[in-house]
Amino acid sequence: MTTQTFSSKVELSVSPDEAFAWHERSGALDRLIPPWESVEVTARSGNLCEGATVELLNRVGPLKMRWLAEHYDFKPGQQFCDVQREGPFTAWNHLHLFQKNGSPQTCVLEDRVEYKVPGGWLGRLVGGRWIRNKIERMFKYRHETTSKDLAAHAQFAEKKTMHVAVTGSSGLVGSELIPLLTTGGHEVTPVVRGEAGDGEVSWDPSAEDFNASSLDGVDAVVHLAGENIAGGRWTAAMKQRIRDSRVKGTRILCEGLARMENPPKVLVVASAIGFYGNRGDELLDESSNTGQGFLSEVCEEWEAATP
């Protein structure tokens, strides 16, 4: 079977050690999965060290494919490799190489992949170019993300890292925010509904109060929780859940934080563009008044619930 080789490089505005550390931190893999790929990280064992594994579930149309990768050849600040133990390719071997670039504060990240397309010569004939295009597009995204994230974190390198609590951690924004924070070296505590897992805090946004003592020591809270507005028909009951999850949930969270002996220094609460309503072609900015309709009313009450 013919082995294909792919290689791509990107210059990063940090040292090899910092670039390597970014990849070691929790959330790096989540940051590197392109948004157009339906891929879920289902299990992890260890980090990047020798023998550590990661399991992915890749959905392609109605098909679900398990990808099990194992890390090896771990050399801190220099390189690490992962090899496919189970997955869609006949073979996949990926080297991540971190090289000095003349300046102590820059480096070059090179990704080298050796892979074999499944299906033999027919697979290469039918899908070889398509697979190659997907790989090229994926690594372009990975390198752009790595470069931009590291540059963003470098702006605050002199600042202390923070402990941040996040509600709505599994939502559209929260699931992107948490990996961004953790790869910057920040500690994140997800605040979840229902039973809390390791490193999580449980809360009930429909309750009458919130005991925020479990957030003692947190520097900042980012409040993103709210009923999914696209989760079903807007019946009277659904609209009430949408309103209460934002207005009541925000109120009890803020009241709980206010009762703390050492409350967080920063509270960031989400709102939504629905605040402005449907205004056609009117140009809107932060000084524009609220619009009309259900979502505008919810957003206005939601913002008012934040002291």
Domain boundaries, the chain: 4-154, 163-304
Q: Residue 190 in contact with residue 169, Cβ under 8 Å? A: yes
Domain 163-304 CATH (choose: 3.40.50.10420, 3.40.50.720, 3.60.21.10, 3.30.390.50): 3.40.50.720
145 — pLDDT class (breaks 50, 70, 90):
very high
Is the domain defined by 4-154 classed in CATH 3.30.530.20?
yes
Mean pLDDT of 118-144: 87
The whole-number pLDDT of residue 126 equals: 67
Q: What is the mean pLDDT of the chain?
A: 93
pLDDT over 90 percentage in the chain = 83
Give the pLDDT confidence of 4-63 residue by residue, as tens digits.
999 999 999 999 999 999 999 999 999 999 999 999 999 999 889 999 999 999 887 888
Mean pLDDT of 245-265: 95
Identical fold, 4-154 and 163-304: no
Is the pLDDT at 282 greater than 90? The verdict is yes
The pTM for the full model equals 0.90
Is the pLDDT at 125 greater than 90? The verdict is no
Is the pLDDT at 176 greater than 90? The verdict is yes
